[in-house]
Structure 1
Amino acid sequence: MRNLASSLTRPLLSLGLCLGLAATAQAQDQELNLYSARHYQTDEALYANFTKATGIRINRVDTDDAGLLARLKSEGSASPADVVLLVDAARLWKAEEEGLFLPVKSSLLNQRIPEQLRAKESEQGTAWFGLSTRARVIVYNKMSVKKEDVLNYEDLGAAKNKGRLCTRSGSHPYNLSLFGSVYEHLGAAVTEQWLKGMVLNMAREPKGGDTDQIKAVASGECAIAITNTYYLARMMRSEKPDDRSSVEKIGVVFPNQQSWGTHINIAGGAVARHAKNRANAIKFLEYLSSDAAQAYFANGNNEWPAVASVRPANPALEAMGRFKSETIPVAVVGSHQPKVQQILDRVGYK
């Protein structure tokens, strides 16, 4: 009997050992493949905290939005991507239109992320979710421009500001999203006249990024420009003397406070169409909507949380004050991108 019991016990012990090893291996194999266009050092803490809380290891591919979308298309069904992070509503809309995202159903994300900051919901679910916001504001040289001359986006194309304006490329997604917003509010004909006026008001050809526009206004190269708020907040929090000097020379306007409100853009995330780790991908997006993650977006990269209940403890954002923002869905703004680009081509906005 002893031999029989021993012979039965050995296989059971072996089976238990194998199951234990399998469970350990499974835990070790928990991973998430992230394709990210966010290049902010503070996001490192976000990813580390997610791994610490869940045991899910994050493998990252970092490049710009265009590079990520091209890679997803070329990889097709063989793509290892589970989550895609992009930094503009127009880019998110375009990726959705090209079938690069997998719509998902998450009651938590629907509860946390306002409806106007996510894709339109279908029977399959929601294709993408805004995770942080930034406003597109007007900056002006306080020595040469009166604030009342730039209270609205429409003023950028008005004759009173001829020779004063500088911008980055009109075709940059940040501008395409702003122009798409104006298109939604004013219609095609008025938007075309407005953009034609902006071209006539240029102090120089469009070039550089948003930070370059702020510095150009401060130096007097031009007198007014448009920028995303987080670029301005970086300079406000900077210890560099040149940045501090530039900030002192400019004024800031949150446009259209007496009409539809200031244009808001987003950084957002989605589950990749061919995600192999779908449960982990949804868990990661839900994590990014948590109070802790939303605070990282605000305090680390000077973005406003998408979740309204989270109040940022960021001195630069607090200094900018409260403002009225537009409420049209960012998905609608993104959908106007092709029509806006055609207008830009017609009016010669480079």
Structure 2
Amino acid sequence: MKFKSTLLAAALASLAVSAQAEEKVINLYSARHYQTDEALYTDFTKQTGIRINRIEGKEDELLERIRNEGANSPADILLTVDAARLAKAHELGLFAPVSSQVLESRIPAHLRSDDWFSFSTRGRVIIYNKIGVKADDVRTYDDLAKPALKGKLCSRSGSHPYNLSLGASVIAHQGEAKAEEWARGMVANFARAPKGGDTDQIKSVAVGECQVALANTYYVARMMRSTKPEDQKLMEKVGVVWPNQATTGTHINVSGAGVLKHAPHKEAAVKFLEYLASDDAQRYFADGNNEWPVVSSVKVSNPALEALGKFKADTLPVKKLEMFQVKAQMIFDRAGYK
């Protein structure tokens, strides 16, 4: 009997050790491809002792991988950019609800949902050529659809999540009919067929291929901080407008993450999300990758963000972007926004 008790105690001790060992690692599936994020992961491990196994890939590839792995997926967390992509993961039922006083107290309610959280923000601003366009001509997103800009607008693909999220916000604020009118107006104003990324749009405006474009602020800030003489010359030729300052505020997009439904290390995964809301991590997002922290009390030191200045941000709940992204794609398709 004593022998059996000893075996039982040993087995329980072994299980306890195994459980502790499980909490010392998380498997992170990440669609963020920024070198500055390395500092985040290193600091998290230093503070907690939890090691991060990272799998990087494109958003759709990671979502498909998680779906295919099903209940056997080793993934604990999906970390990605853009509310539309996070919304897609939610729609696929990949996330698990998370209850955390830390996350709820530090992240504003409009920047989180029941199962995913925003950790940094970026604004979708209007870039204009200082010679060809006046700032007062492009004070709102609606201005991009006005006939005065015919042949002057550059854009990346209408099916890109950045534009889908903006389209979703227009639907949320103005309704589907107005959103379609806006989309058709922009298509009529294209200087060329949509192509390239946000940095390409900035450069196209600077060289005069077009006069106006949309870009996320961290692309603008990256160009502003560039030490390349050619980038500095390009940025001298463009101006930046924070749209909709007199009304709803500038559309905000996010980077965010959620714990996955079949996560094998849920407790450690929640700790990682809580770490991303910490002062240290929030500063990494801002100073390292030119994004704004979601925790308003965090002080940042980024000359480009300071130069862009203060602005009124749209406080539309990210859940609204979830609701309307599919409709935004349908509207863009009908408008010919390829």
Q: Same fold (TM over 0.5)?
A: yes
Alpha-carbon contact 2:22-2:265 (below 8 Å) kept:
no
Alpha-carbon contact 2:165-2:325 (below 8 Å) kept:
yes
Query: Where in structure 1 are there 5+ consecutive unaligned residues?
Result: 1-7, 120-125
Question: Structure 1 residue 203 and structure 2 residue 203: aligned?
Answer: no
Q: CA deviation at 1:26?
A: 4.4
Secondary structure at the aligned position of 1:226 is classed as strand
Alpha-carbon contact 1:140-1:225 (below 8 Å) kept:
yes
Matches within 5 A, 1:146-295: 146-295=134-283
Q: CA-to-partner distance for each residue in 1:294-328, whole Å, 9 max, x for gaps?
A: 00000000000011111221100000000011111
Give the root-mean-square deviation of aligned CA atoms.
1.9
Distance in structure 2 (CA, Å) of the matches to 1:289 and 1:53 = 14
Q: CA deviation at 1:334?
A: 2.4
The residue aligned with 2:83 is 89
Counterpart residue identity of residue 348, structure 1: G
Matches within 5 A, 1:58-73: 58-73=52-67
Question: Structure 1 residue 42 and structure 2 residue 36: aligned?
Answer: yes
Distance in structure 2 (CA, Å) of the matches to 1:29 and 1:265 = 32
Counterpart residue identity of residue 129, structure 2: N
Secondary structure at the aligned position of 1:167 is classed as coil
Q: Number of matched residues? A: 332
The residue aligned with 1:345 is 333
Alpha-carbon contact 1:171-1:341 (below 8 Å) kept:
yes
Stretches (4+) displaced over 3 A: 18-29
The residue aligned with 1:334 is 322
The residue aligned with 1:313 is 301
Which has the higher mean CA deviation after the structures are superposed, 209-218 or 48-57? 48-57
Q: CA deviation at 1:110?
A: 0.4
* Greater C-alpha Rg: 1
Residue in structure 2 matching 1:139, options 103, 106, 127: 127
Distance in structure 2 (CA, Å) of the matches to 1:328 and 1:29 = 36
Distance in structure 2 (CA, Å) of the matches to 1:259 and 1:51 = 43
- CA 107–346 in structure 1, closer or farther in 2 if over 3 Å, else same: same
The residue aligned with 1:75 is 69
Q: CA-to-partner distance for each residue in 1:203-235, whole Å, 9 max, x for gaps?
A: 000000000000000010010000000000001
Counterpart residue identity of residue 85, structure 2: R
Q: CA deviation at 1:99?
A: 0.2
Distance in structure 2 (CA, Å) of the matches to 1:226 and 1:233 = 14
Distance in structure 2 (CA, Å) of the matches to 1:235 and 1:102 = 38
The residue aligned with 1:123 is none
